Every structure is written in C-alpha cells, then in structure tokens.
Amino acid sequence: MEYIFFFLLLVIVYVYIGYPILLKIVNLKRKSIYINDEFMPTVTLFIPAYNEEKIIKKKIRNSLALDYPRDKLEIIVASDGSNDNTVNVVKNYLNDGVTLFESVKREGKNSVINEYLPRCNGEIIVFTDADAFYNADAIKKLVRNFNDKSVGCVVGILRYIDDKTSIGKGVGLYTRYESIIRKLEGRHGTLVVATGAIYAIRKELFTPLDLDVPNDFTHPIQIAAMGYKILFEPAAIANGKASSTAADEFKRRTRIVTRGLTAFVRYWRRYHMLRGVWGFCFISHKLLRWFIPFYLLVIFLSNIFLHSPFFRFTLYFQVGFYVMALAGIFLKRRLGRYFSVPFYFCVINFAAFIGVLRYFRGKRQVIWEVAKTTR
C-alpha cells in the first residue's frame, strides 16, 4: 500500500511541478521561429454566437477597432440558431464590413464552424468567442508567427477580468499557471491545447470537426499530426470575465474533461496522439491530469491504513487542505488566495472526476448553455 501511495503522489507532483520544470530544462535548447511583424496575410475573424444579444454589439465594435488592415480582415458572425436579438444586432453592422451567417437550427459551435468556415476568405482563420475582447494588436501578434511555414496554429492568451470571489481568484491563478506551461510547450511548437477565445490556424489545414469534441482541443491534435508546430503567443491578448460561481465553473470544467476525453479516445490512433514530443506533452499536460481526482482518492484512502509519524502528518495535511477548500463554499468573497487555491483545486478536480465518469457512462455534449456570470 505504501508503494501505491508514493507512486501516485509522485505522479501528481510530476504533473503539477515536475513537468513544467522538465519543460524549462529542455527549452534551453529550443528551436527558433522566424517571426515577422510586417507579415500580414488575409485574416478571417470567426465569431460563433448563440443568444449573445447582451454582448455581441460590444464584440463587433471591439473587432472593428482592431489594428489590422481593413482590406485584409474579414469579420464573420456565425449564429448557431439564435432565437433572441443577436441576429438583428449583427445586421446593423453589415455595412461596416461584418458578414453574418445564420443557421436556423441550433446544432453546436462545431456545426457552424464546419458549415461556414469553407466560405471564409482569409488565409488565416482566427477563432474567438463573443465574450472575448481583443487588445488592438492581438491579430497582428498572432499572425506574425505564420511567417514561418512550419507553423500551423498559434494560440493567444485569455486574461480574466479581476473577480473578488474565491472562484474568480482561483480561475485567475490557474490561468497564470497554465500560461507558464503553454509558453514552455509553445517554444518547441508542441502546445497541446488552444484557448478557444483566441487562436489561429492556416485555413488550408482545416479539417471538419465532429460535433461532440472541443474545437480548441481538436485543431491542435489534427495540425500536430500533419507535422506543423503549434505555438503560444503571449503578446496576443484577449480579455474576458471569469466564472464567478462555483456551479458555473464546475459545469464548465466537467464539460471540458468529458469532451476532451471524447476526442482523445476517438482520435489517439487516427492521429498518433501518443507518439513523439507532442505525445509526451499531451500525456504529461492533459491525460495524466484528467485522472488526478482518482489518484487523490486512492492516496487518501490508503493513507488511512498507513501508520507512522510521516503518514499521520500526510493524513492531517490532506484533511486540513480539504477543510480549507470547504471554507470556500461559506466564506466566498472573504477568502484570500491561501483559501481560494485549495477551493479551486478541489472544484476543478471534482469536476474532472464527474467528467470522466460522464464519458464512461456514455454521455456526450454537443451544445451547452454559457455561464450567465460571464456575460
């Protein structure tokens, strides 16, 4: 039982600490990418939207204000069966260079991507969300990397507006931690997953998506399998609002894990996902992490039956950690980061636990409702 305890503990330490350190060491020998700030290909900004009447006007105005040549920037809003005032709001901007594609029936984001992306004119397709507002130079920073012909996908960074709730603090800290890992992976062109709010691909590399997989996870899988690099561009910045309730964040993280696992099981043979450097990064960054709640459960249960001063300490430490996490339910906005970290850690890992179980119970998710607290 001791061997199981220490083995699983080492896996967790490796995933959260050892892997980033290893990337840092390896990246001392990173390969150069030929970036050119003057490189400005034609670009399509693709905005899928479902019932976004509250924010679509702000998103369009933000898009029209981007610092990119207007004759080279196509702005497309693809409505996924919206039944509110989204379409009417978009129509007010058709004379300003915005294109509207409208699906009558709601079938999910990937459905409108598959249907309308072939009609886009840009050499580079930038995917974004209706609630992600770009810095003026975001597209310039993304596309300058495509000057290098070996680059197939470039991922920007989503910065969350400061939120004083325990979940908001946790999201912010976790995002900064993830950005460190993505930056290290991106230096070798082996970034594992994109940020749905801000990433770009070469249009010629687009492959239709299954409806029940995440586009920002599947595109890097497909493009890496073609032999192209996936980079991280921290200077390409989008701004958005974090979930401010545990329920919203729990639902979001559960959906992410279920859909990610769906993509992995379906594609790992087809795209050779476990091979090479990209495969190693995927295993370390995603595959092992999805199952951490199961490791934590086994560690806790095995610790109960292990008796020594060291194991008493580890048991008390675990109990104390989970008590601090539970405090997040009751203290909410009064939590400091020392409480918000355990709270958010437990929220996302319990969500991963449920997400894995949902997948193995045969549940899939094509469409979902966005969190109201992010709008």
pLDDT in tens, 75-103: 999 999 999 999 999 999 999 999 999 99
Is pLDDT above 80 for 244? no
Phi-psi region of 15 (alpha: psi -120 to 50; beta: other; left: phi over 0): alpha
Question: Closest Cα partner for 125 from 134, 133, 116?
Answer: 116
Is pLDDT above 60 for 373? no
What six digits make up the tokens of 252? 């979001």
Mean pLDDT, the chain, whole residue set: 90
**How many C-beta atoms surround the C-beta of residue 143 within 10 A?**
26
Alpha helices in the chain (DSSP H): 2-13, 19-26, 56-64, 86-91, 109-116, 138-143, 166-186, 215-225, 246-267, 276-282, 288-290, 292-304, 309-331, 337-360
Is pLDDT above 70 for 335? no
Q: Output the pLDDT for position 371.
A: 57
Rounded CA separation 26/32 (Å): 14
pTM of this structure: 0.90
Phi, psi of 46 (to 5 degrees): -105, 120
Rounded average pLDDT over 343-363:
93
Is pLDDT above 90 for 249? no
The DSSP annotation for 207-221 comes to -PPPTTS-HHHHHHH
pLDDT tens by residue, 108-141: 899 999 999 999 999 999 999 999 999 999 999 9
Rounded CA separation 77/95 (Å): 14
User: Rounded to whole angstroms, what are the CA distances from 264 to 11, 181, 213, 272, 285?
Assistant: 20, 20, 9, 10, 13
Q: Output the pLDDT for position 270.
A: 95
pLDDT category of residue 337 using cuts at 50, 70 and 90? low
Task: Return the CATH number of the domain spanning residue range 31-253.
Answer: 3.90.550.10
Is pLDDT above 70 for 369? no
pLDDT tens by residue, 192-222: 999 999 999 999 999 999 999 999 999 999 9
pLDDT category of residue 173 using cuts at 50, 70 and 90? confident
Comparing 92-101, 181-190, 293-302, the range with the smallest average pLDDT is 181-190
Is pLDDT above 90 for 61? yes
What six digits make up the tokens of 322? 């989970």
Rounded CA separation 68/66 (Å): 6
Share of the chain above pLDDT 90, in %: 74
Q: Give residues with Cβ within 8 angstroms of 234, minimum separation 6.
A: 156, 157, 179, 183
Rounded CA separation 353/240 (Å): 26
CB 253 within 8 A of CB 355: yes
- Beta bridge partners of residue 45, listed in sequence order: 75, 126
CB 33 within 8 A of CB 337: no
Q: Output the pLDDT for position 9.
A: 96
Q: Which of 15-29, 78-92, 358-372 tops mean pLDDT?
A: 78-92
Rounded average pLDDT over 317-327:
90
Question: Closest Cα partner for 211 from 110, 116, 112, 106?
Answer: 110
Is pLDDT above 70 for 295? yes
Phi, psi of 51 (to 5 degrees): 50, 60
CB 165 within 8 A of CB 332: yes
Q: Output the pLDDT for position 115.
A: 95
Phi-psi region of 81 (alpha: psi -120 to 50; beta: other; left: phi over 0): left
Phi, psi of 225 (to 5 degrees): -65, -25
Comparing 4-8, 38-42, 221-225, 304-308, the range with the smallest average pLDDT is 304-308
Rounded average pLDDT over 327-339:
63
Rounded CA separation 309/22 (Å): 32
Rounded average pLDDT over 237-251:
85
* More confident call, 26 vs 61: 61
Q: Output the pLDDT for position 163.
A: 63
CB neighbour class for 64 (10 Å; exposed up to 12, middle 13-18, buried from 19): middle
